[in-house]
Structure 1
Amino acid sequence: MNTYMNMLEWEDSAIPHRLWVERLDNGRTRLCMKIVKDVEPEMLYLELPVSQEKVMGAWQGRAAAVSDAYDDGCLYSQVRSLFNLDNGCVVWTVNHIQLADKQKMSADKLAFIPGMTHDQGLLKAILETA
């Protein structure tokens, strides 16, 4: 493992985006995502309250749908879970917009949802065990 930056590989070769984790000096991790198939590439960053090792161990190589996809031909939108952590999950909101010139752009977002987990297509509260 690299002590600064580590790539996370997608199982799906149709997803050209780049995903990696960076170690921060405060013991936290920054998740970075480069959306590469757009008119203008988009960079997304999310600071996570866990180590690089925890993120790399949680990554399964794919995103899992949390919501049904909406697609009217001009707008595609869906929420996907990237991975679960002990204290929450990371979701990726996917938004592709077809512009007037027929090119597409993304307006995506990464978010850490504390106290929630992705399980079989749903976001659920993490239950505390005594």
Structure 2
Amino acid sequence: MKVEYSLFRKETNSTMRSELGILLKKLRGKRTLRDVSEKTGLSHTYIRDLELGIRRATGKPIKPSAHVLKKLADAYQYPFEDLMRASGYEDLLQKNTNGDSNPCDIWQILSSENETALWKGRVLDEQQKKEIISVVEYVLSRSI
């Protein structure tokens, strides 16, 4: 009995690539994975998984954290916001329809449970947001 092995083959990496993965591969250009690994502090295998859009060990889709995207943006000298969009984090970005850079109320962002706050690309949890509010309130109370 002849077995058709192609029937059992996993989907190829190229068909599983995500928008982010394609962008990361393009940004890396001729640099090696190890070069990027040194710049970012991320493992070269993890960076490759991001480029492929899957965790090769499990075959499941991979979604990097905002902190990881910040490291990659810095290494590639590429806008962090664009990497966030390519990763599907568009809802975390401040939307401004008229293009102006309007000031935002930091207290509103930090005190709202529905708002996601970032610090240097890292998502803050509720406890961290409360602690930041306490520190800012203390600093502001001293300056009155």
TM range (shorter): under 0.3
Normalising by structure 2, we get a TM-score of: 0.24
Query: Quick check: which has more Rg, 1 or 2?
Result: 2
Question: Normalized per residue, which structure has more strand?
Answer: 1
Structure with the bigger percentage of helix: 2
